[in-house]
Amino acid sequence: MRISVIGCGYLGAVHAACMAELGHDVVGIDVDAAKVADLAAGRSPFFEPGLDDLLGSRHGRLRFTTDIAAAADARVHFIAVGTPQQAGSDAADLRYVDAAVHSLLPHIGPGHLVVGKSTVPVGTAARLAAIVEQTGAELAWNPEFLREGFAVSDTLTPDRFVYGVRPGDSIATELLDEVYATPLASGIPRIVTDFATAELVKVSANAFLATKISFINAIAEIAEVTGADVTTLADAIGHDTRIGRRFLNAGVGFGGGCLPKDIRAFRARARELGLESLTFLEEVDQINLRRRQRVVDLVDANLGGLTDRRVAVLGLAFKPESDDVRDSPALDVAGRLVAAGALVRATDPEAIETARRVHPELDYRPELDDAIAEADALVVVTEWRQYRELDPVTIAQRTPARLIVDGRNCLDPQRWRDAGFTYVGLGRP
Ligand code: UDX
């Protein structure tokens, strides 16, 4: 199958590489010449485990260009551009999706299928379908559920495929089945539905995950004033398979390029529809943001003030195995500590360069030892394996700090206490 992928950011670059891996002939198209040059040279513009290998072993089936006319040779065209939060509003900014679809119009016709993968407000697909259909081509909505850090395996073997198609469509389902023939053959479920349901599946899944995290973080707040332990509680309720243990890790909360903006856009869309149904997502957002200040307050309380105190912040990425700092709780905590007067040295195994681009003023230390050398307190805000596996006895020899605030509840309190540290977790006694 000849495929074009419009937009080679996180989603598009991974999708293009994975479609080539499945044996298709793929062209990735992006307006950013620097990004295209990187990808064409087999280099991923961002850190994603396994992606460089795929870009390097593409067997001549994968190319990248800035020229949208290259899409003309393809039959299936994936739209994988970003839908960021609008400046000054909670709603999604659809200008890149609209521009991508319009740029395709001169190059498509009968027999072509345009497939939206971007996360969009419900109603977008129907609006775009009316435009695409004027060329004789068809449109489908096929949301993506990939997680950063697992993007390659999530794309090649997702939990499910969802196709939003026009009722009684002729080619959409058939073409998508052909595109995903290999993973479908292994029995991955596929749900064929209408546009609105497909669009809503994606935002509902993200809203549910965000709600689950904020639920446990709300319980952490209760645990903090009652002396209970939220991690033991999560283990206990997680044994109920109706609840499940995953996404019940209390800590500094969710961030990244998806969950925060998606819950805001979803709530904004409901409001546009005249519905109060999703006002609770406002609370989900607020609980999440409160946790960031909680980490700062714990450092403050345990050091007896922050002014001119030296704090080593371990982690900048919004989660491990990623160099993404979009809406990162870790980077936000570092900024809040600085604003409160602390002298912060921040470190991360992968995200220093991306963090530097948005917060050039922070003091970054690529080496952990350098970050902790003169610290009064250590704060773990991204649970990288490197930090989870730190040996407290060794660390005690390398830093004068005797306070560790575990913003991800990823460390063993007893081991740190045994090594002479005051250990403080979130929602833990
Ligand atoms: C998410 C969805 O999981 C994915 O399906 C969707 O396609 C895009 O958005 P991603 O943003 O890569 O993926 O990250 P995810 O692994 O979901 O984590 C999101 C945030 O929640 C991270 O900041 C993570 O640290 C936080 N988190 C996750 C918690 O605070 N507690 C948890 O228990 C789980």
- Whether ligand 1 lies within 6 angstroms of the CB of 253 is answered as yes
Cα 296–chain centre separation: 24
CA of 206 to the centre of ligand 1 (A): 9
Q: Whose CA is nearest to atom 7 of ligand 1?
A: 145
> Tokens at residue 359, please?
């917060």
CA 180, 182, 183, 187 dihedral sign is: positive
| Contacts of residue 42, Cβ cutoff 8 Å, sequence gap at least 6 | 52, 55, 56, 58
d(CA 131, CA 99): 12
CA of 262, closest atom in ligand 1: 9
Average pLDDT along the chain, 429 residues, taken 10 residues at a time: 97 97 97 96 92 84 97 98 94 97 98 97 98 98 96 96 89 97 97 98 98 98 98 98 98 97 97 98 98 98 98 98 96 98 98 97 98 98 98 98 98 98 97
Phi-psi region at 319: left, alpha or beta (left = phi > 0; alpha = psi -120 to 50): beta
pLDDT recorded at residue 32: 97
CA of 259 to the centre of ligand 1 (A): 7
> Tokens at residue 12, please?
């598009």
CA of 382, closest atom in ligand 1: 25
pLDDT recorded at residue 397: 98
Pocket residue to mutate for ligand 1, from 262, 319, 380, 409, most atoms within 8 A of Cβ: 319
d(CA 147, CA 257): 10
> Tokens 């730190």 appear where?
390
> Tokens 């593409």 appear where?
58
d(CA 295, CA 365): 21
CA of 146, closest atom in ligand 1: 7
Residue 212 sits at φ, ψ, to 5 deg, of: -60, -45
pLDDT recorded at residue 168: 82
Q: Cα angle vertex 155, ends 154, 161, to 5°?
A: 95
Cα 182–chain centre separation: 26
Fill in the DSSP letter of residue 69: G
| Contacts of residue 25, Cβ cutoff 8 Å, sequence gap at least 6 | 1, 2, 3, 61, 74
- Whether ligand 1 lies within 6 angstroms of the CB of 248 is answered as yes
| Contacts of residue 239, Cβ cutoff 8 Å, sequence gap at least 6 | 245
**Which among 146, 251, 171, 160 is positioned nearest to 197, based on CA atoms?**
160
Pocket residue to mutate for ligand 1, from 258, 383, 409, 410, most atoms within 8 A of Cβ: 258
Q: Whose CA is nearest to atom 34 of ligand 1?
A: 247
Asked if residues 428 and 410 have their Cβ atoms less than 8 Å apart, the reply is no
CA of 119, closest atom in ligand 1: 7
**Which among 241, 181, 211 is positioned nearest to 22, based on CA atoms?**
181
CA of 66 to the centre of ligand 1 (A): 31
> Which residues participate in catalysis according to the annotation?
258
- Whether ligand 1 lies within 6 angstroms of the CB of 247 is answered as yes
- Whether ligand 1 lies within 6 angstroms of the CB of 12 is answered as no
- Whether ligand 1 lies within 6 angstroms of the CB of 79 is answered as no
> Tokens at residue 195, please?
């546009």
List beta partners, residue 114.
77, 139
pLDDT recorded at residue 60: 85
Whole-angstrom CA distances from 236 to 16, 47, 231, 413 are: 41, 35, 9, 19
d(CA 175, CA 170): 10
- Whether ligand 1 lies within 6 angstroms of the CB of 145 is answered as yes
Whole-angstrom CA distances from 409 to 2, 156, 418 are: 47, 31, 17
List beta partners, residue 425.
406
> Tokens at residue 256, please?
């990244």
CA of 47 to the centre of ligand 1 (A): 16
pLDDT recorded at residue 169: 64
d(CA 332, CA 317): 10
pLDDT recorded at residue 56: 85
Q: Whose CA is nearest to atom 10 of ligand 1?
A: 147
Q: What is the dihedral of CA 181, 182, 188, 191, to 10 degrees?
A: -20
- Whether ligand 1 lies within 6 angstroms of the CB of 320 is answered as no
Residues tagged in the binding site annotation for NAD(+): 30, 35, 83, 119, 148, 261, 326
> Tokens 């921040």 appear where?
346
Rounded to two decimals, the ipTM of the complex is 0.97
d(CA 120, CA 100): 14
CA of 207 to the centre of ligand 1 (A): 11
Encoded amino acid at 229, one letter: D
CA of 147 to the centre of ligand 1 (A): 7
pLDDT recorded at residue 186: 96
Q: Cα angle vertex 249, ends 244, 253, to 5°?
A: 130
Fill in the DSSP letter of residue 133: G
Q: Cα angle vertex 76, ends 74, 82, to 5°?
A: 110
Residues tagged in the binding site annotation for substrate: 145-148, 202, 247-251, 255, 319
Q: Whose CA is nearest to atom 16 of ligand 1?
A: 147
The DSSP-derived string for 228-267 is --HHHHHHHHHTSTTT-STT---SS---SSSHHHHHHHHH
Structural domains of the chain, ranges and CATH numbers in brackets: 2-193 (3.40.50.720), 216-425 (3.40.50.720)
Q: Whose CA is nearest to atom 26 of ligand 1?
A: 254
